[in-house]
Amino acid sequence: MRGLRWRQWAATRRRKRRVDIFIQQIINGLVLGSIYALVALGYTMVYGILGLINFAHGEVVMIGALTALTAIGLLVPSGLPGPLVVLGGLLIAIPVCMAVGFSIERIAYRPLRNAPRLAPLITAIGVSIVLQQLAMIGWGRNYHTFPAILPTTPHQVLGAAITDLQILIVVTAAVLMSALLWLITRTRLGRAMRATAENPAVARLMGVNVDRVIAYTFVLGSALAAVAGVMVAANYSIAHYAMGFMLGLKAFTAAVLGGIGNVGGAMLGGLLLGVIESLGAGYIGDLTGGFLGSHYQDVFAFFVLILVLVFRPSGLMGEKVAERA
């Protein structure tokens, strides 16, 4: 009898442990996915309005992260509490990124507004390379480390561990995304953005200052990118000049996954991609009996993208023209 009871107890424990691990992987995925979603919004907003894939967006995230780190490095000796220092870094990074986003649009894209579609795409790649090289000159090629000013002690939630910072990342991302949805659906600027997305020529005739709306779109996307950059630097404690490339690629994937041009889709796509990556890396080894391992983490994300594109070419939530912003 006692043996049986022990076996039951052990089985329950194992099952509980498996559930705990599953919840932990979902949390890992949500943290990663929140960052992807914020970056993906930048891609999707610009695409929705201009039909342009702004490949330089990942670089804006990188500039946000490095600017914040520099500012934080200067603020640390002041002896302010850690969270305030990070907030200070963020408040400096946001306007810098906004300025960068505004300049990119003004210098690189506006002159090509009526050019064939391929020209701005090539320009976008060029801008990305230029920004990366400038960052390399300015910040050097070394890894910059985030000072240890934030608490890293985790909380236990439903058997999984999560830190204050990670909670903050998910909450901030959710708040920012809700605010963006509100802005697009409820404000005058949002209406102008939707009108421009639908038909720039008609919007212009209705008195919308199309150039200004486009500039606002870039500035907004860049502000979100700055926040995402600070999140990446704080969560992984590392930032360097080349960090924007892979992150940008993943975020672009997330935007396509959700349906590029669709703001809700970018949020869903980002969160989904984060969770897929996390679960993929965590379980693929067991599912395939060790045939595929965690080195397929990146492959897994892109594989899902291919599947979505084959079976739903316009993304999960669709590229609904009327609603894209």
Partner 1 sequence: MTQPFPSRPLPALLILSACLLAACGEQTDTAPSAAPVAGAPSMEAPLVVRLGHVAPLTGPQAHLGKDNENGARLAIDDLNAEGFKIGDKLARFELLGEDDQADPRQGTTVAQKLADSRVNAVIGHLNSGTTIPASRIYHDAGIVQVSPSATNPQYTRQGYAGAFRVFADDVQQGGALGTFAMKNLNARRIAIIDDRTAYGQGLADEFEKAARAAGAEIVTREYTTDKATDFASILTKVKSTSADLLFYGGMDTQAGPMARQLKTLNLGIPMLFGDGGCTVEFHKLAGEGAEGHYCSLPGVPLDKMAGGTAFRERYKAKFNTNIQLYAPYAYDAVRVVAEAMKKAGSTDRMKFLPELEQINYPGLTAQITFDEKGDIKNGAVTLYQAKSGAWSPLETVGGDATP
Q: What does the binding site for partner 1 look like in residue numbers (CB under 8 A)?
A: 17-18, 21, 24-25, 28-29, 31-32, 141-143, 145, 147-148, 152-154, 156, 161, 163, 166, 236-238, 240, 243, 246, 277-283, 285, 293-295, 297
What is the closest distance, in whole angstroms, from the C-beta atom of residue 148 to partner 1 in the complex? 3
Euclidean distance between CA atoms 43 and 226, whole angstroms: 14
What is the closest distance, in whole angstroms, from the C-beta atom of residue 136 to partner 1 in the complex? 8
Euclidean distance between CA atoms 93 and 188, whole angstroms: 27
Which CB atom, from 32 or from 131, has the smaller least distance to partner 1? 32
What is the closest distance, in whole angstroms, from the C-beta atom of residue 123 to partner 1 in the complex? 27
What is the closest distance, in whole angstroms, from the C-beta atom of residue 276 to partner 1 in the complex? 11
In the chain, where does DSSP find H-type helix?
Answer: 2-50, 57-75, 82-103, 118-139, 164-186, 188-198, 200-205, 210-236, 243-258, 263-287, 297-311
Backbone phi, then psi, for 163, in 5-degree steps? -95, 165
Which CB atom, from 53 or from 247, has the smaller least distance to partner 1? 247
Euclidean distance between CA atoms 127 and 131, whole angstroms: 6
Which CB atom, from 208 or from 275, has the smaller least distance to partner 1? 275
Which CB atom, from 65 or from 71, has the smaller least distance to partner 1? 65
What is the closest distance, in whole angstroms, from the C-beta atom of residue 205 to partner 1 in the complex? 48
Which CB atom, from 240 or from 324, has the smaller least distance to partner 1? 240
Tell me how long the chain is. Answer: 325
Which CB atom, from 147 or from 190, has the smaller least distance to partner 1? 147
CA torsion 206→212→217→220, rounded to 10°? -130
Which CB atom, from 121 or from 238, has the smaller least distance to partner 1? 238
CA torsion 194→199→202→206, rounded to 10°? 10
Euclidean distance between CA atoms 72 and 18, whole angstroms: 40
Which CB atom, from 213 or from 284, has the smaller least distance to partner 1? 284
79: left (phi over 0), alpha (psi -120 to 50) or beta: left
Nearest to 261 by CA among 301, 320, 205, 308: 320
What is the closest distance, in whole angstroms, from the C-beta atom of residue 164 to partner 1 in the complex? 10
What is the closest distance, in whole angstroms, from the C-beta atom of residue 24 to partner 1 in the complex? 5
Which CB atom, from 128 or from 262, has the smaller least distance to partner 1? 128
What is the closest distance, in whole angstroms, from the C-beta atom of residue 319 to partner 1 in the complex? 29
Provide the CA 226 distance to its chain's centre, in angstroms.
10
Token pair for 296: 């397929």
**Which residues, at least 6 apart from 228, have a Cβ–Cβ distance to it below 8 Å?**
35, 38, 39, 61, 64
What is the closest distance, in whole angstroms, from the C-beta atom of residue 286 to partner 1 in the complex? 8
Q: How many CB atoms lie within 10 A of CB 245?
A: 16
